Amino acid sequence: MTTRRSFIRQMSVSALSLSVLPSIAWAFPDAPVLRVAIMGLGSYGTRVAEAMRACTRARLVGVISGTPTKVRVWQERYGIPAKNCYDYGNYDQIKNNRDIDAVYVITPNALHHDAVIRVAKAGKHVICEKPMAVNARQGQEMVDACKAAGVQLLVGYRMHFEPHTLEVIRMRKEGAFGPIRFFQGLSGFIIGDPTQWRLNPALSGGGAMMDIGIYSINGSRYMTGEEPVWVTAQETKTDPVKFIKGIDETIQFQLGFPSGAVASCLSTYNANNLDRFFLDGAQGFAELLPATGYGPIQGRTHLGELQAPIVTHQTVQMDEMAQILLEGKQPVVPVDGREAVKDLTIIDAIYKAARTGQRVDLQA
The whole-angstrom separation of Cα 40 and Cα 318 is 16
Distance (Å, whole) CA 127 – CA 157: 10
215 flagged as catalytic:
yes
Give the burial class of 89: count Cβ atoms within 10 A of its Cβ; 0-12 exposed, 13-18 middle, 19 or more buried. exposed
Catalytic-residue membership of 121: no
Q: Which of 91, 104, 130, 342 is catalytic?
A: 130
Q: Which of 86, 91, 215, 222 is catalytic?
A: 215
SS3 label, residue 14: helix
DSSP 235-297: EE-S-TTTS-TT--SEEEEEEE-TTS-EEEEEEESS-SSEEEEEEEESS-EEEESS-SSSS--
HSE, CB side, 13 Å, CA atoms: give it for residue 158. Answer: 19
User: For the packed helices 337-356 and 214-224, what is the interaxial angle rounded to 10 degrees?
Assistant: 120
Distance between CA atoms of 318 and 103, rounded to whole angstroms?
12
Could you give the residue numbers annotated as active site?
130, 215
